[in-house]
Amino acid sequence: MTNGPAVLVEGLGKTYPGGVRAVDGISFEVERGEFFGFLGPNGAGKTTTIKILATLLPKTEGRVEVAGLDVTRDPKAVRQAIGVALQEVGLDDLSKGRDFLELQGLLYGLSRAEARERAAELLELVGLSSVADRRVGSYSGGMRRRIDLAGALMHNPGVLFLDEPTTGLDPQSRIAVWEHLEELNARGVTIFLTTQHMDEADRLCRRLAIIDHGHLVAEGSPAALKAGVGGDIVHVAFNSDDSADDRVDAALAAVRDLPGIRQADFAERGLTATVSDGGAAAPAIMTAFQDANLSIANLSITRPSLDDVFLQHTGRQIRDSDADGDAEDRMWSQWMGVNRR
């Protein structure tokens, strides 16, 4: 590996044929050895960005260096330096787990003996030795992620790109994947991970960037980002069938006028407000709801989470964004002409 940061992105933009702007001038850096999270809802530009970094997709403009190498000028060297596991993509269902790994090794220039040895080692690491000679198509979701991860590690890459490595996994499998990733990072592998799960980013990443609609909206350590929200979070769940109800708008307007309220937004049939002192603000918020004729189902006061960081920067909860999301996926399918999922 040459000098420079693990990932350097300057003014990166991507416009798909047809004019959809998926990534709109983002810049960030990932240091060597870092565990970096790229956080955002579906369709925010995460997958496009990771595909550009991994040389799978050409960029429209900007400068991108991975492992000190320019992805456009020197794609082959970049490919040799990195390991990539995209969203449940690229598994060869008819191949046996062990054969899949050995072929990966051979394609990255390992000798047969090296590939055999490394495959056995990684099967052990990801806990798949007992099913190594079964076809990948027979693996469960968690096993598929783990064999894919092992495949990305065959050639000992210094930088690992993972696109939503735990999406769709049951809680136990998620934790197993997390533990493997933490172990790899502890051994010095730089990890660049995209996720739409705040808890995942919070647990794993030392630093993260939040992307929304192709723009970076925040960057920093999870602790610093949460501290940046400031104060407490008051969440009020109310009983109303329709969140577009006039009463809801009235309540929101009233809450926003209260003293000590920094931000208030609706999300998921409830209201989330950032306040300097939760205990002091709660009674006034309840009154505002009563005045608007809305009955409160539940009120909670918590310290900020990454969800609140996202809400603060985008005005939406990440889960809400899923509904209008998939724009990026749709566009990708359109470009490819196939439904990838």
Partner 1 sequence: MLILRESYFIYVRNLKTWLAQPWMIVAAVLSSAFMFLFFGEPLRGITALPGFPADDYQAFLAAMVIVMAVVFSGSDMAMVLLTDMMSGYVDKLLLSPVNRFSILLGTLLIGGTRAMAQVLAIILVASAIGVRFEGGVLGILGVIVATTLLGVAMGCVGLIVAMRTRSVQVTVNSWLLFMPLAFLTSAFMPRDLLTGWFQVAVGLNPIEYIMVAVRAVIIEGWVWDSILPGIWILLATTAVLVGAATYEYRRATN
| Residues at the site binding partner 1, with contacts judged by CB under 8 A | 54-56, 58, 76-77, 79-80, 84, 86, 88-95, 99, 103-104, 106-109, 135, 151, 336-338, 340
How near is the Cβ of 120 to partner 1 at its closest, in Å? 19
Token pair, residue 191, equals 């990890």
Cα 25 to Cα 14, 29, 199: the distances in Å are 8, 14, 27
- Kindly tell me which of 50 and 261 has the beta carbon lying closer to partner 1: 50
Q: Which helix (H) or strand (E) holds 278?
A: helix 278-291
- Kindly tell me which of 191 and 285 has the beta carbon lying closer to partner 1: 191
- Kindly tell me which of 103 and 301 has the beta carbon lying closer to partner 1: 103
How near is the Cβ of 236 to partner 1 at its closest, in Å? 43
How near is the Cβ of 191 to partner 1 at its closest, in Å? 17
How near is the Cβ of 234 to partner 1 at its closest, in Å? 44
Closest CA to 91 of 36, 37, 41, 134: 134
Provide the residue count of the chain: 341
- Kindly tell me which of 106 and 120 has the beta carbon lying closer to partner 1: 106
Residue with tokens 């990801």: 126
Token pair, residue 296, equals 């409160």
Do residues 267 and 317 make contact, with C-beta atoms less than 8 angstroms apart? yes
User: Given its phi and psi angles, is residue 251 left (phi above 0), alpha (psi -120 to 50 degrees) or beta?
Assistant: alpha
How near is the Cβ of 23 to partner 1 at its closest, in Å? 19
How near is the Cβ of 107 to partner 1 at its closest, in Å? 4
Do residues 262 and 230 make contact, with C-beta atoms less than 8 angstroms apart? yes
CA 69-75-192 angle, 5° bins: 65
For residue 96, give the DSSP letter: B
- Kindly tell me which of 102 and 200 has the beta carbon lying closer to partner 1: 102
How near is the Cβ of 152 to partner 1 at its closest, in Å? 9
- Kindly tell me which of 263 and 333 has the beta carbon lying closer to partner 1: 333
- Kindly tell me which of 60 and 263 has the beta carbon lying closer to partner 1: 60
Strand ranges for 127-224 from DSSP E: 159-163, 190-195, 207-212, 215-220
